[in-house]
Structure 1
Amino acid sequence: MQIMIAACSAKASCGVLIAAMAAITLVVGRATAQERPRAGRTDTKRNRYLLLDSRIIESSHNAKLTVGAVRKDKHNPLMKEDRPWEPYYSNLYGKVVYDEQDKLFKCWYSIFIESRLESDTPRAKRAWAKWTESPRAGGVCYATSKDGIHWEKPNLGVIDFQGSKQNNIVLRAPHGVTVIKDPHEANPQKRYKAILPSRAATKVWFSPDGIHWKLHKLPGLDYGDTHNCVFRDSALKKYVLFTRRWTRKPIPGKRYGRYGYRQVSRSESPDFLNWSKARVVFEGPSVDRQIHDLIVFPHAGVYLGLVGLFDLEADRQHVELAWSPDGIQWHWVCQGAPLIANSPHVGDYDWGCIFATTPIFQKDRVLLYYGGSANRFFGWRDSFLCRASLRPDGFAGYEQVEGGSNKTATITTKPVRAVTGSLRLSADLAAAGYVRVTILDKENRELAQSERIARTVTDAEVRWPKGFSFEKLKGDEIRLRFELRDAKVYSFSFDD
């Protein structure tokens, strides 16, 4: 099977997808019928559409797709290496959730709880000491927060560290364990789940509270030496795992080049115990720009991916954006344009590396927690838990290529079904900007033109002139043409 990965050219300032498309072909194993997601994620009858989904865009004029504006929290960094069992976060692989039942933010973070070199070398002396990868051991720690900003590391009394259990360690396990809370699980003893794939033996844990865990050893899956991502896919009614594959084709002169280069593989399971064979689904644009990790989550009828892009030449990592109709065929969104960029200030808390976590969707924003490192990937570095945010549906949107009072942009969709009697829109507007929507039938005949939207809106109902009712289009296939000036449009939805 061949997978075509479309790239929106950063050199062209992430210009119109159709005009700026490049193709990278990955040859992977043939997908089985069980691996093909159901049509629910690929049809055009859903109620919410992100404009980054190129399947629904028929044409555009004077418009370009650009990534959203991430705002880093003024309180960053939120958490740092400040316990004896936290000598080296390294790549802080975190999983942050907001527990509605407990009204609490919870964070599980996979780090090195033992690292000889970092423990033996005080920070004040590291500028004059050579860094090497020293003997180390991994673990998973647990922290909580009432407001998502101020974090506590409770003494849990679970895992022994140097003769004491007064710490917040919940697992001793190699670096890369990832955790989920599964509200769909009927067995309360399996409410929380954790996994660490590897080629030799995959480890799975279940827990009633996210603190006390029971281990199950399974057959090997894939290399797993990465920021693994797992979630329950409600469309498939299965658990889906994204992990790492090494090509095993040596690349002379590259660190870890004896393993080849990094790829992303995917596996799925009906019960978190029996996993399908992992198959490669995504890789970076070049040997020097590899995908270190991929954090995947379903949203608005597609799968979005926060791509940890590791620049081997710069020895740094930032986060880009990708999307997929099925979790198997992946497309870059403005390849080369960071969604979460490194700080421009050398030594700042995320100047060196960024490792994303699964977003938390709130009513008025999307929270993006991430691990940040102040220094380069290989070397001495201090690491932290950090936070950023996006506006709702603000991962990417269309805006004008050329501005000015006489310049507008238009984007026309392919036919979509109006599943309810109301059309809603999310967009950012400048002071003099506007968005106007025209409804077209399947033959491109104009049915109605909306009133102007002249302010920033989130899921705002589009208003129509007197005498026209959107309700009469319910169930019909229609096209939408968005006219915009000094605006950025992210999504539309049908919602009563």
Structure 2
Amino acid sequence: MEKYLMLDRRLLSPQGMANLKLEASHPVKDEEHNPLFTEDRPWEVRIDNGYPNVIYDREANCYRCYYTLFIEDEDSRCAGPKERTERDYIPRPDRVPGLAYAESADGIHWEKPSLGFVDWHGSRENNLIFPFAHGTGVMLDERETDPSRRYKMVTKMDQPGTEAYMAVSFSPDGVHWETPTPWPEHNPPADSHNLPFWSEEESCYMVLSRVWRDGIRVTTLSRSQDFIHWSEPKETLRGTGFENQIYAMPAFRWGNIYLGLASMIHEGDRTEPDFDQVDLELTWAADPWKFDFAAPGQPILPRGEGSYPDGAFDCCCIYASPLVAAPDGSLWLYYMGGNGQHTNFRETSLGRAKWEADRFVSLSPRRPQEESVLPTASLFINGGRLELLADPADPGQPMEVSAALATAWNREPLPGFGYGDSEVTAGEDGWLSIRFSGGLENLAGQKLSLILRMKNAKVWAVRGDIALAGHRLWEGAE
């Protein structure tokens, strides 16, 4: 059974769509427990963006969080609460980054264990894994057969005034790590979240990072067969102008596509209320070399209320970890929230928000009282199962859905597969079952377009005995 999200442009026939718009959903913040932890250790001088990597380890039955911070930053260390409100932050070139570690049994209550690895001001009683590590990305590699390399890391080793280079490291348990090994080739700026993952399509490792091109920040992708030798970074996505630049974009696999969490920094006009603040948008890709925005200009996690210094912990900047599936099946978006502008004084804390599976971006009616039409691209019919994930756009009003199958969106439905021949019934978790009097299984092997007519319905996904068959706009299509 295949499943396709409505944010997947390959699925749709845009010429036949009517009264529909892309609408991003908002994960529900854990207001009861947020923030989960904050800057409460002497060496946590400034967590800054944090670039969190939250992983649930099923073997160890625990959550792990790896986060970047500055362990030496004189301006943050010396400026007290009152002074921070009276002047701007001045970052010094001798700031020292580092990588810290926290763990949790339930994903809510976090501990910062004393690891004994790093000497900070004469003591090793701290939760630091490495000094000089910046923008670290960590993955748990379930495919790995070498137990000493179960955890993998990509980072920028940045020793102020001396050298900066890309490096990798490995760990058997996520706590004890090898000395970082420099990349033998290439040394991109990569001063952001360097997130590694495995590509099923290319059977290789990839890392999403960031460089500067044409005066703005752009997201890049590199590939590796052995996690040591990496290709030259290639651009995979950029924002729009100065106003919406991608600062960081960790990504994760979801079904047959990738989803990215793009932290969008707003520059270019100091008079704008969101200047130097960072919003979180969703991106997607069927091919990780070609990401796109899922619902352009729509933040998925609204920043908290207020401003520095009295606003919510996440009122100004948001940087996310890839989505985490808890043991009970719930999905959590962990993120670092900052209460001040990106380049100014701020304090940073870890938060989380709950997201419903597949309900990421919907196709919703512009005018709920009017009919919407949603045709798909050509689909191979492989059996009799067809389901639609949909909710009422206005929860107080009924939702109407009917379906048809035709050789194209602008052709007459096949006999027995018209709108009047369809029966749509409610299933579990919002999934609707679609049946036809003609029997869907009788069309096995045919290539057809599914056409939905709806009122007051927002649609998230479709699944069943179907497979994408092609699109007139595809590269290489017949």
Whether TM exceeds 0.5 here: the answer is: yes
CA drift of 1:120 comes to 2.1
Whole-Å separation in 2 of the counterparts to 1:128 and 1:64? 44
The 1-side partners of 2:264 and 2:100 are apart by 25
Q: Which residue pairs with 1:486 in the alignment?
A: 456
Aligned to 2:58: 100
Aligned pair 1:228/2:194, yes or no? yes
CA distance in structure 2 between the aligned counterparts of 1:397 and 1:460, rounded to whole angstroms: 14
Kindly tell me the number of residue pairs found equivalent between the two proteins: 436
Residues of 2 paired with 1:223 and 1:458: CA distance? 45
Check conservation: 1:126, 1:380, Cα contact below 8 A.
Answer: yes
CA distance in 1, matches of 2:26, 2:453: 21
Alpha-carbon spacing, 1:128–1:432, altered in 2? closer, same or farther (3 Å): closer
1:235-314 to 2 correspondences below 5 Å: 235-247=201-213, 260-312=215-267, 313=269, 314=275
* TM-score w.r.t. length of structure 2: 0.85
- Correspondence 1:355-366 to 2 at 5 A: 355-361=319-325, 365-366=330-331
1:359-398 correspondence runs (5 A):
359-361=323-325, 365-398=330-363
Cα–Cα, structure 1 residues 103 and 435, in superposed 2: closer, same or farther, change >3 Å?
farther
Which of 161, 170, 180 is the matching residue for 1:206? 170
**Deviates further, 157-166 or 372-381:** 157-166
Matched, 1:175 2:134: yes
Say whether 1:131 aligns with 2:94.
no
* Residue of 183, 195, 220 corresponding to 2:154: 195
Residues of 1 paired with 2:24 and 2:329: CA distance?
18
What's the % identity of the aligned pairs?
A: 30
Which SS does the other structure have where 2:75 is aligned? Answer: helix
Aligned with 2:397 (options 422, 429, 432): 432
- The separation in 2 between residues aligned to 1:96 and 1:458, in whole angstroms, is 27
Amino acid at match of 1:411: L
2:160 matched to which residue of 1?
none
Please say which of residues 437-446 and 315-324 is displaced more in the overlay: 437-446
Distance 1:483 1:454, change over 3 A: farther
TM-score, length of structure 1 as denominator length: 0.82
CA–CA separation in structure 2 for the residues paired with 1:495 and 1:349: 46
The one-letter code of the counterpart of 2:208 is F
Matched with 1:52 is: 7
Point out where structure 1 has 5 or more consecutive residues left out of the alignment: 1-45, 250-259
Residue 433 (structure 2) aligned to one of 459, 462, 468: 462
Aligned partners of 2:127, 2:406: CA distance in 1, in Å? 59
Q: 1:349 aligns with which of 309, 313, 316?
A: 313
Q: Does 1:87 align with 2:21?
A: no
2:462 maps to amino acid: F
Aligned equivalents of 2:454, 2:37: Cα separation in 1 = 41
Structure 2 residue aligned with 1:69? 26
2:77 to 101, 115, 119: 119
Cα distance, 1:409 vs structure 2: 1.2
* Runs of 4+ off more than 6 Å: none
How far apart are residue 435 of structure 1 and its match? Answer: 4.7
Name the CA shift for 1:376/1:453 in 2 (closer, same or farther; >3 Å). farther
Give the 3 Å change call, closer, same or farther, for CA 418–123 of structure 1 in structure 2.
farther
Of residues 437, 442, 447 in structure 2, which corresponds to 1:477? 447
- Measured in 1, the distance between the counterparts of 2:400 and 2:228 equals 49
> How far apart, in 1, do the equivalents of 2:168 and 2:366 lie?
49
